[in-house]
Structures are given as structure tokens and as C-alpha cells.
Amino acid sequence: VFCTEKLPEPEQNGTHSMASVTSLTASVHQRLADALSAALPEAGSADPLLRRSDRADFQANGILALAKKAKANPRELATQVVAQVESGDVIQDIEVSGPGFLNVTITDRAITGNLAARYEDGARLGVPVADHPGTTVIDYAQPNVAKEMHVGHLRSAVIGDAVVQLLEFTGETVVRRHHIGDWGTQFGMLIQYLIEHPHELDHKGGAVSGEEAMSNLNRLYKAARTVFDSDEEFKTRARRRVVDLQAGEPETLAMWQKFVDESKIYFYSVFDKLDMEISDADVVGESGYNDMLDETCRLLEESGVAVRSDGALCVFFDDVKGPDGNPVPLIVRKSDGGYGYAATDLSAIRDRVFNLKATSLIYVVDARQSLHFKMVFETARRAGWLNDDVKAHQLAFGTVLGKDGKPFKTREGETVRLVDLLDEAVERASAVVREKALDLSEAEITERGAQVGIGAVKYADLSTSANRDYKFDLDQMVSLNGDTSVYLQYAYARIQSILRKAGEVRPAAHPELELAGAERALGLHIDAFAEVVAEAATEYAPHKLAAYLYQLASLYTTFYDKCPVLKAETPQQVENRLFLCDVTARTLHQGMALLGIRTPERL
Ligand code: ARG
């Protein structure tokens, strides 16, 4: 077993008090909007365009445009708004700046009070649940049977998992679908080859591990492919075997099942290494839609969405043309009657929309499949299966590159096995942990090494926006400095060590205390957690949360450098600073959990 404890589930809706906390931004926004409509009634519910600012806490930029519209002098309007603002509990100071901006400073009491309310709410930290959550079906972590997993499968799994956590945290109902490649011509080829070479898969006695079974299958796959490509008669026999498979011929089916089962054991072991929970019930591969293929084609043909062309059933698009200028259709059924990838995906859409009642569909798939999805989604729209109420979106991700900036390959030009990369990451991370840790046992180093190494790989992926390529650079990933998960994990562990050192003294909020600049900056940033989570969830953009967490750890470091905690001046100040430490830690912990990354208590 890779990790002794499972990742603490991020707290979901329904499991806590759900006392969502009004953010400071929202409070200020409300006060300014009220003042604005008092000063300029015709502005109605105009947006004051509030932004965080370096000069004050917030800046409102909306007055200029409104004044222009009302043909008023912007500075005068701004002055009138200031006169209307109710100051006191939240707003400390508001002033006109430049041609008509407003600079807003809020009270220390409001900052501490807001954090205290978040702290009270436990792990949800006052993050609200969406008013009208829907049902999202997300297609991610979809490796192929009898084939090794590579870095592309890593991206889909890691990004998909983070999006699942984010959506569930905001109250969305999420159905996971692992659309594994377990169907098609290649299985006829594999099975036929094995029938003709019955000893190729003989195990050297005893059960084999998932990893060994996979490397056997992978070898078999390559051998079968070589014969398939060079021997026409074998090709014919293999094609006939696919027909047997699709018709459910028992011997053929049993062999296929064995490939699938062995591959799945292997996939699960890799997902386990990745510290990800994949439930068997959510693995619905391409074969799962076999019974729907005929009907999908019939519906498309009857509605005229698909037409016959050279014996194949095709869908045409005005804007999809090949290099020769001829249209490139989506082939739903080949001229030999065989179904391909597209027919399966179209059937899966029907299943997800009509049986699973999805209100949105997400596909976490390599950008190189974008044309396929564009055509599949457009076909489904024409058929009426997708519409304005049920949308599909490909969360397309870029390529993982080697240090040379080219797609990641071994020196021999082969794809790199994902397990090898993960093992190496854990090894490097263990070395870092060992060097830093003075009081950890060997078992603890192993466990932390795994948490740090896997976290590093996930974070490197999640901190880049998904559509971009990134370089797989382990040295950089496990570095203690810079935008890495290790940096965040150390920040978290350092806070835990301070809390332990405090002993009997417990964190407690003291809203009456004046705050130092670094404390204010930290507090205001923590207040933004809910907004960032909501944005990352609705935009399917975990990198926004990663950037937020990195900044949180940086602001904490500044606070820690400038503000003594255990040696603060008064007992109240010690408690209040411990409280700031603890809210920071909880925010880091929850944010990292949403990214699927652990935060060990000691490092
Ligand atoms: N198995 C495919 C691959 O490895 C990805 C499947 C994507 N999902 C889908 N519904 N087509 O490339």
C-alpha cells in the first residue's frame, strides 16, 4: 500500500453547518452599490467595479463610466458617493483619487471578524454552496486496455480529479466516467494472435503482479500489431474475430474479459500510486455502449443528420476540410459495418444526457482530439441531444514535454511509462525529505516522500493552465523554492509546528486588536478563497486555485518574517496571531485537498 491513510475528503456540502460567510469584497461592494444608487438614482444597480488594490484595500473603478453616461463630472459624482457611504463597521476610510476612482480601506475589526466566521465554519471555511447546482458528467482518467499508461493519461487523471473535487465542493452533483479504451479492432487482433500463439502469455507459475501482467500484455500487443500490419491473411482472421467479439461469442468474450480485468488491476495500482480514488462502478469503457451503437446510427440517419457516403454513414461539416479542400466527415459507421470511436462517443452522450440526466458534460482529453470532439458535439447538437440547457465542453490539455522541449520520449524514442516517472518523483522527493528532516523515522520518510513526490507531479501539472504544454522537470518540481507543492507543504508543516509549540495557548480571534500590514494582507487574501474556488470550479480552471495557494503561502511567509507569533507583545496578540496561522493552515489544507494534494503535519 502506497499511502497509509486515504486523502482526507474535502468537506462536502451537507456535512457541515454550511454557514456561508459574506466576503469582505461582497460587503464593500454592497455598501458602494447602495451609496451609488443613492447618489445617482438612475444608475440603478450599477456595478462599482471593485478590485483589490495595492494603494488601499480596494479600488472602485466604476464611477468614471457611470458619470460619463449620466453626463456628470466624475470627481463630483465620486465625492457624492463618498458622502453617501455608510462608514463604521466595515469601511474605515474612503477617498476619491485620480479622475474619479475610489480608494477604500476597511477596518481591522472587519478583517478579523470575517476570518473568525470562516474559522467557525470548519473545513468549508464559509465557502457557499451554489444556489442551483446541476449534474455534471465528467469523462477523465481513461487509459487503454492492454496498453501502458503514459504522461497524457496523467494529465487527464490529475486535472479531472481536481475538477471533480472543485465541483463537488461547490455543491454540484458529479458523475465520473472513465471511458477506457476496451473495444475495437485491436482486440480482434490481440485475441486472434493469442489463439494462434497460445504460449505467449504463459506465466512463469504463480500469479503475476499488475505491473508484470501489463508489461506482458503490452508486449503481446506489439507482437500482434507487427503480424497484423504485415500478414494480410492474419488481418482477415483478426477482423473476423472482432465480429465474434461484438456478437458475444463465449470463448472470444472470455479472452477479452481477461485482458480487461488484468489491465484494470494495473490501472487501479497506478491510480493508487497517484493517490486517487477510482471506483470500479465509474469505469464504463467503450464496450459499455456497444448495445446502443445500432440505435445511435438509426436515429442519426432517420433525422438526416448522418448520410450514406461510399457505403459509410457520415456527418459533414461546412468548416471541416482536408488539405485537398475536400470535406472530412465524421464517420459514424464504416463501409464494412464496423463502428468506431465516434459512434461510441455519440452513444455515450445519449446515455449521459438521457439516463444520467446530465446538465453539463466535460471531457478531459488531449487537445489533439479537439477536432473529434468538435464534430461529435456538433453532431449531437444537430440531433437535439445537446442544446442550450445541456452543454458539452472538452477541457483540452496540452502536451507534456521533455527537458528538450519536445514531446516526452525515452532516449530510444519510446513513450515514457507513467509508473517509472512516478517512482522517480517519489525517489527524488524522499531524498529532499531525508535531507531536511532531522527527526523522522525511515517509515515516515517513505510515507512523506510519496506524499511530496506525488504532490509535486500533480502540482506541476495543475499550476499551468490546462491548455498549455509544460516541461516535465523533476528537479524543478521537488524544489523547495518557487511555485511548487513542496513549498506549500512546508509552509503548512511549519504552521503546524508553531501550533504544537504553542502548547496550552490556543488560537483565538481578537477583533479589537489593531493589525499590522502583513496581517491585513494575509487576512484579505484568505477572504478571497471562496471567490477563487467558485471561479476555478465554474471555469474548470484548477490553476487559478494553485496560483491563489502559492500567493497565500508567500503572504504567510511575509507575515511570519515580520510578525513574531509566540513572542508577540501581549497574550491577546499571541492568540490572535496563532489564530491567523491556523486559518491560513486550514485554507492551505482545504485548497490542496481540492487539488488532490496532501499536506503532511510534519515534514
Ligand atoms: N482512451 C482515450 C485515449 O487514451 C481517451 C478517451 C477520451 N474519452 C472519450 N470519451 N473519448 O486517448
409 - beta bridge partners?
415
The parts of the chain modelled with pLDDT lower than 70 are 1-18, 202-208
Choose which residue among 159, 363, 369, 397 to substitute to test ligand 1 binding: the one with the highest number of ligand atoms within 8 A of its C-beta: 369
**Closest by CA position to 276, among listed 481, 482, 462, 490:** 462
142 Cα nearest atom in ligand 1: 1
Per the document, the length of the chain is 603
Strand, coil or helix: 566: coil
The string over 107-120, giving b where at least 16 C-beta atoms fall within 10 Å of a residue's C-beta and e elsewhere, is bbbbbbbbbbbbbe
* Ligand 1 pocket list (CB less than 6 A): 139, 142, 144, 179, 181, 345, 348, 363, 365
**Closest by CA position to 309, among listed 344, 334, 342:** 334
Compute the distance from residue 220 Cα to the ligand 1 centre, in Å: 22
Choose which residue among 148, 150, 179 to substitute to test ligand 1 binding: the one with the highest number of ligand atoms within 8 A of its C-beta: 179
pLDDT of residue 15: 45
Q: Supply φ then ψ for residue 454, to 5 degrees.
A: -70, -40
Compute the distance from residue 181 Cα to the ligand 1 centre, in Å: 7
Tell me which residue has its CA closest to atom 4 in ligand 1. 143
CA distance 181 to 167: 26
pLDDT of residue 11: 52
Compute the distance from residue 365 Cα to the ligand 1 centre, in Å: 7
CA distance 401 to 437: 32
369 Cα nearest atom in ligand 1: 12
Residues 6+ apart with CB under 8 A from 573: 510, 513
All 3 cell numbers of residue 313?
A: 454513414
Cβ–Cβ < 8 Å for 313, 331? yes
Compute the distance from residue 180 Cα to the ligand 1 centre, in Å: 7
Compute the distance from residue 177 Cα to the ligand 1 centre, in Å: 11
Decide: pTM greater than 0.90. Answer: yes
pLDDT of residue 325: 87
Compute the distance from residue 562 Cα to the ligand 1 centre, in Å: 50
372 Cα nearest atom in ligand 1: 11
366 Cα nearest atom in ligand 1: 12
**Closest by CA position to 28, among listed 5, 58, 6:** 58
Compute the distance from residue 345 Cα to the ligand 1 centre, in Å: 9
Choose which residue among 147, 177, 365 to substitute to test ligand 1 binding: the one with the highest number of ligand atoms within 8 A of its C-beta: 365
**Closest by CA position to 282, among listed 366, 180, 144:** 180
Compute the distance from residue 168 Cα to the ligand 1 centre, in Å: 23
Compute the distance from residue 394 Cα to the ligand 1 centre, in Å: 11
Compute the distance from residue 170 Cα to the ligand 1 centre, in Å: 27
Tell whether the torsion through CA atoms of 287, 291, 293 and 296 is positive or negative: negative
CA distance 24 to 120: 16
Residues 6+ apart with CB under 8 A from 499: 507, 578, 581, 582, 585
341 Cα nearest atom in ligand 1: 11
CA distance 30 to 110: 15
pLDDT of residue 87: 74
Q: Supply φ then ψ for residue 284, to 5 degrees.
A: -120, 95
Compute the distance from residue 95 Cα to the ligand 1 centre, in Å: 56
Compute the distance from residue 338 Cα to the ligand 1 centre, in Å: 19
Compute the distance from residue 154 Cα to the ligand 1 centre, in Å: 13
Burial of 251 (0-12, 13-18, 19+ CB in 10 A): exposed
153 Cα nearest atom in ligand 1: 4
Compute the distance from residue 491 Cα to the ligand 1 centre, in Å: 37
Cβ–Cβ < 8 Å for 108, 513? yes
C-alpha R_g of the chain: 29
Tell me which residue has its CA closest to atom 5 in ligand 1. 142
Cβ–Cβ < 8 Å for 545, 565? no
pLDDT of residue 203: 56
Burial of 254 (0-12, 13-18, 19+ CB in 10 A): exposed
One-letter amino acid for residue 42 of the chain: E
Strand, coil or helix: 334: coil
pLDDT digits 0-9 by tens, 541-569: 999 999 999 999 999 999 999 999 999 99
181 Cα nearest atom in ligand 1: 1
For 41, half-sphere exposure in the C-beta direction (CA atoms, 13 angstrom radius) is: 0
pLDDT digits 0-9 by tens, 94-113: 999 999 999 999 999 999 99
Tell me which residue has its CA closest to atom 8 in ligand 1. 179
Compute the distance from residue 278 Cα to the ligand 1 centre, in Å: 16
Compute the distance from residue 261 Cα to the ligand 1 centre, in Å: 18
**Closest by CA position to 466, among listed 319, 595, 330:** 595
Compute the distance from residue 179 Cα to the ligand 1 centre, in Å: 6
Helices (H), 93-140: 108-120
pLDDT of residue 5: 45
Choose which residue among 138, 139, 140, 142 to substitute to test ligand 1 binding: the one with the highest number of ligand atoms within 8 A of its C-beta: 142
Question: What DSSP state is assigned to residue 304?
Answer: T
All 3 cell numbers of residue 578?
A: 496563532
SS (H, E, C) 217-234: HHHHHHHHHHHHHHCHHH
Helices (H), 437-539: 442-462, 474-477, 485-501, 517-527, 529-538
For 197, half-sphere exposure in the C-beta direction (CA atoms, 13 angstrom radius) is: 14
Cβ–Cβ < 8 Å for 1, 273? no
